[in-house]
Structure 1
Amino acid sequence: MLIKEELNRYNRQMILPELGLVGQEKLKAAKVLVIGAGGLGCPILQYLAAAGIGTIGIIDDDVVELSNLHRQILYNHTDIGLSKAKTAAAKLKLLNPHVNFTAYDERFNPHNAVNICQEYDLLIDCSDNFSTRYLVNDTCVSLGKTLIFGSILQFEGQVAVFNHQGGPNYRDLYPTPPTENINCVEGGVIGILPGIIGIYMANEAIKLICGIGETLSGKLMTINALDNTVLVFKIAQEKQPEIVKKEVIIETTKEIDQATLEQWLSKSADEVFLIDVREDYEHEDFNIGGVNISLYELTNAIENIPQDKKVVCYCQTGQRSKMAVQLLNGVYKGKVYSLKGGVSSIVH
């Protein structure tokens, strides 16, 4: 039930015949999780909070940096060094005190994905890396949640709605990661682009919650801010293997630290099978040995993994290797471990 102040606050959008009082009450009852409070997350959070979404979750383990401020305009220079999730929640509460915010100052990972996501009706993926995007997607598939996806790079952005009422999911669009994994840090991004794409994503959220208009379910919209090109592609849907659901419902992952791995290798190296689950260019840049099998090719290479050895998966930070362990646990009979902290914790 909307109170008098809310009726006044949302008056201009409530007079829209497509939305009305019923639509506004749907917005107040909605629970939305925004994964990532960076370039895309900032405008989405601002507009959804202003629109009157009743409950908004914000998950991000990052802190505000000076290089963020040209595009993440929810923050200012006094916020540098502070938690993005907590800072965003505090600022948004000033924007709209009628919204309930929950800040998760942690990384979205295989351990917390299901527990957090099951509390929300709608998920919005604002992450900037493929491992998180696949994890978000697979969690939504497992829980039957609708997902709004967006990505940005340089002058171009993408928006889509996945897993809505049995529609296509992210893996239907990208069964495996693109060969080139360039992010904004390496490729750059024009500051206004996350605002454009983020607002489209927020608009999709409002339409989905209120049940109005035509959404981007089963479609991919691309926007080029440099030449004003807008294209919409239809996404073909294919049946995904059961492994998609398995990788997000396993709650425990066996981890070992660097010291343990070194001890195993020094005692009986022939009993340990090392797998670098990063991409080939990452492996070539630096590795600690073993074979290189990308996370996204892992289940297709089971026959190359000996069943009688301890399998240790490693990556850059330990996140992808955790996912690898979960994938292998469903199809591999031997013992599988993840190297805690990945190779980024190893001095080289």
Structure 2
Amino acid sequence: MTTVNATPTPDTGLAPLVAPGPPLAQEEIARYARHLSLPGFGLEGQRRLRAASVLVIGAGGLGSPVLNYLAAAGVGSLTIIDDDAVETSNLQRQIIHRTADVGRSKVESAAAALHRLDPHLEVRTINGRLSPDNALELFADHDVVLDGADNFATRYLSNDAAELTGTPLVWGTIFRFAGQVSTFVPGHGPMLRDLFPDIPEPDSVPNCAEGGVLGVLCGTVGSAMATEAIKLICGIGTPFIGRLLRYDALAGEYSTLRFSPDPDRPAVTDLTEVAAACAVASSAAVGGSGDRGPADGVDEIDPAGLVRLGDAAVVLDVREEWERALAMIPGSVHLPLDRIRAHGWEAVAEAVDHAEGGQDRTEVVLHCKSGARSAEAVSLLTEAAPPGVRLRSLAGGIDAWPGQVREFSGAAVR
């Protein structure tokens, strides 16, 4: 059981992670002058940063400020791992990318931005995911790792890889208007599994695409993560070891939860458990869409099949109103997933009544962006559907629609 207390955090006694590198060139002294005058930091601290090697997991909302600030601070070598491409919806918070980068791989976009900031920075890019196959080697090759992942499986993989390799890990999360930061140093305090022992189910918390996130929150949390890395590298201050920093942007309040190692927690000995979680997360992921994959056993129909149904089907759009402003299937009826969750079949019956000729149709097709939310809706409604009514989820959602068919009931997709 995790022990939570209100006692002051003791001095960690951590030595600096990185030995000082070579003397700074005159250009570097000018560049980092504001660091050099800091008490307890000075030339030696800057030389430690220049000699440091840091792995950043994710070049998204948290990775953007982390990468920018570590590069600007003078960290000598940065490795970026991410398998995603830049989308327009990323630009609201992922400040390392620009409009011109939409469609480009995030690691390539981020590396270009960092080299604009510091042409001498060593940047290594990995266009892929952190996985049980590469995690241990990557962690062992770096002085410190910062985890800005957006899924539980990767966060626990990072924790377990850190524990197995003895690599310090800075961890951060964001959701809607709140964020959290903690630092895990194997052998010097508790780890993530001491605070949250079990890997949550992949769909237990909505992701940012479904739940939303305040863009500027990423800067607050990401900057705190970068600060932790600098403290560890240079051996200054007191890192968030045994402390979870919590920030509520709406209330404008910070709070700290103190926790200690769980003596009954089994030590991490391999990546077997987390490998299974990563496999589930990978199979459930829908590339870049922000939706999860469809649930097992859900009845689906592809876009071509929906076209063949023609006027025999009522099409219900379970997305949010703002998503319909981007694209919608003409003739579809809006029924947000939250209404289905709250009111079940009653909400569907009301929506069908609003569809032209809906009362006489026995085919009901639900769709969302990529098929995940509509699959959830079908799962929720199947048992309550009246006899003779067939409920199906549109496979691939509206993302799959324009690529397979251009018209539905005589109207072009817009």
TM-score by length of 1: 0.71
Q: 1:189 to 1:250 in 2, by over 3 A?
A: closer
Deviation at 1:284, TM superposition (A): 12
Shift of 1:75: 0.8
Q: Corresponding residue for 1:3?
A: 25
Give the one of 144, 169, 174 matched to 1:122.
144
Q: Give the letter for the 2:99 counterpart.
A: H
Within 5 Å, give how 1:130-209 maps onto structure 2: 130-178=152-200, 180-209=204-233
The percentage of counterpart residues that share the same residue type is 44
Name 1:101's counterpart in structure 2.
Answer: 123
| Residues 156, 247 of structure 1: alpha-carbon distance in 2 compared, 3 angstrom cutoff | same
**Can you give the 5+ residue segments of structure 2 that lack an aligned partner in the other structure?**
1-21, 285-290, 299-394, 401-414
Partner of 2:62: 40
The answer (yes or no) to whether the contact 2:243–2:257 under 8 Å persists in 1 is: yes
Counterpart of 1:33 in 2: which secondary structure? strand
The answer for the alignment partner of 1:287 in structure 2 is 296
Q: Is the 8 A contact 2:243 2:259 kept in 1?
A: yes
Distance of 2:293 and 2:217 partners within structure 1: 33
Aligned-residue Cα RMSD (Å) equals 2.7
Q: C-alpha deviations, 1:59-94, integer Å up to 9, x for none?
A: 001000001000011111110111111211121011
Q: How many angstroms apart in 2 are the aligned matches of 1:79 and 1:223?
A: 30
How far the C-alpha of 1:117 sits from its partner, in A, is 1.8
Give 1:210-289 correspondences, 5 Å limit.
210-239=234-263, 240-242=265-267, 244-247=268-271, 286-287=295-296
The change in CA–CA distance for 1:71 and 1:250 in structure 2 (over 3 A counts) is closer
State the shift of 1:152 in Å: 0.2
SS of 2:206 mapped into structure 1: coil
SS for the counterpart of 1:231 is: strand
Q: Write the distance in 2 (CA, Å) between the matches of 1:249 and 1:187.
A: 28
Instruction: Give the secondary-structure state (helix, strand or coil) at the position aligned to 2:269.
Output: helix
How far is the alpha carbon of 1:35 from its aligned partner?
Answer: 0.4
Alignment partner, residue 18 of structure 1: 40
- Shift in alpha-carbon separation, 1:250–1:194, aligned structure 2, 3 A: closer
Please identify runs of 4+ aligned residues in structure 1 that moved more than 4 A: 248-251, 282-285
Alignment partners' CA distance in 2, 1:28 and 1:283:
40
Corresponding residue number in structure 2 for 1:312: none
Contiguous gaps of at least 5 residues in structure 1: 256-276, 290-342
What are the Cα deviations for residues 155-193 of structure 1, in whole angstroms up to 9, with x where unaligned?
100000013543111111111145632221111001100
Q: 1:188 and 1:142 mapped to 2: Cα distance?
A: 34
Number of equivalent positions = 265
- TM-score, normalising length: structure 2: 0.60
Q: Is the 8 A contact 1:36 1:127 kept in 2?
A: yes
Q: What amino acid does structure 1 have at the position aligned with 2:253? A: T
Query: In structure 2, what is the Cα distance between the partners aligned to 1:283 and 1:214?
Result: 38
Is the Cα contact below 8 Å between 1:138 and 1:248 reproduced in 2? Answer: no
